[in-house]
Amino acid sequence: MSSEAAMFLASDVVTTYSKSTGHDLPVEELILPGDFKWGVATAVLQIEGGADQDGKGKSIWDTFSHMNPSRTNNENPDVSCDHYNLWEEDVELMSNLGADVYRFSIAWSRVIPLGSRNDPVNEKGIEFYSNLIDKLLAKNIAPVVTLYHWDAPQGLYNKYKLFLDTEEFTADFENYARLCFSRFGDRVKSWITFNEPYIISIFGHHSGVVAPGHNMETGFDTKKEPWKVGHALILSHAAVVQLYHREFKPTQKGTITIVLNGHLYEPFDTNNQADIDAAERRLIFYVGWFGDPVFLGQDYPACMRQHLGSRLPEFTSEDRQLLRETAPLNAFYGMNHYSTKYARALPGVPADDDWTGHIEETSEDCDGTEIGPASGFQWLRLPIIVTENGCPCPNEDNVEVAINDTFRQRYIGLYLDAISRAIYEDKVPVLGYYAWSLMDNFEWSAGYAPRYGIVHTDYTTLKRTPKGSAYYLKDSMVRRRTTSE
């Protein structure tokens, strides 16, 4: 298995800190604009629990997390943080921390248990999200809602394997989106269609480490399937953007976009042109794959066409018109960013199902220097919101260790400094920062091993305890934004 795919597994969780470059960098508490928004982010599958409550249907993750042998570290999200029952406490917690924004997702299978456009709506599910939105607004916290964060209804998978049938999936996704816009759009002013389509495509349909778990070993076509999935996600995103702008935006006055993820890549050897080219190519295969069609209304990048050939689907003339029409309607570039890596060009002929652009990702360069925590946005020029950023820290099962999370505080501080430099030195319009995550939760195939939260979760008692990073974010945002006014 590739090192990239391992990042979703419990075996990839670190138990000690490494000695990396950048550990001596000071946090400077650089200023941010007065209207800069900070918030916290979660995903429904990871925190909500209530798997069988009030008519909820099964999702592909309910199935995937109960496989035998286990593919999720012998753990499941049936209860997780029990946000479904403790949501009022969680909103109070966010309010006490001073968050401006709460980015969360809706469980498709909670509002339409079987998922399709011909299936009944679950009013109990609608009521839950409506109450959550109302409570957030009462606390002056803006809801940013993700329609799809990896937990498709199992009923749709059983019918047509989801994204492998573009036409059927798009029709059902439009129906689900229309339901959400009509029931919640009078209060929700910021919508996200998909979270991290790269992960859905590659990790769900090539390495198989996330649901639905397709890979070569389980009999699926890893040469073509990931690219077909990505194609369906791009077109269904565009269809829903068009739907929102035609039917809902005129009265609701909201916005809509997509959230991509990716690392920034540096050459493994800056004196080797092949590695310089590899860094650019890896970024294109990770971000340009979706960014070019979605934000530019263009075909897939030329280097992908050249490398993948017939494995990469074609856009029809109607598809291209839809992409051109909807590209300028995306409100901002949503970016989930956690780390930077080196890219090394590989020799020889790529594997038949290569998805990387024939490169190797490493954390050390040719001189053995480990890449540091500082990062930048110099290659981005669209309005940006960092929709996820954070890190797990070792040994945080122990709440006394967790509350003294100086590594995470420093990580966040350096990242906010980098955002400040991007805004004021590079003139990049970064509008906000959402920490991943509000609380420790079910981290996909790694189960409960990694803890990303700025709030500690005791999975036995479900007690929430803010870590030092929660208070650091609260206080730092006051200092940074006050100074800038």
Catalytic residues: 196, 388
> Which residues face 389 on adjacent strands?
435
Is the sign of the CA dihedral 243, 249, 250, 251 positive or negative? positive
Structure tokens at 387: 């929709």
The answer to whether the CB of 184 falls within 8 A of the CB of 247 is no
Q: How many Å apart are CA 379 and CA 212, to the nearest integer? A: 33
| Paired tokens of 361 | 């990702």
DSSP tag of 437: -
Partners of residue 102 on adjacent β-strands? 40, 143
Contact (CB, 8 A) for 175 and 117? yes
């910021």: which residue's tokens?
190
> Which tokens sit at 123?
């009013």
Cβ atoms < 10 Å from Cβ of 292: 20
**What tokens does 77 get?**
């999200």
437: cis peptide before it, omega within 30°? Answer: yes
- Whether 106 contacts 47, CB under 8 Å: no
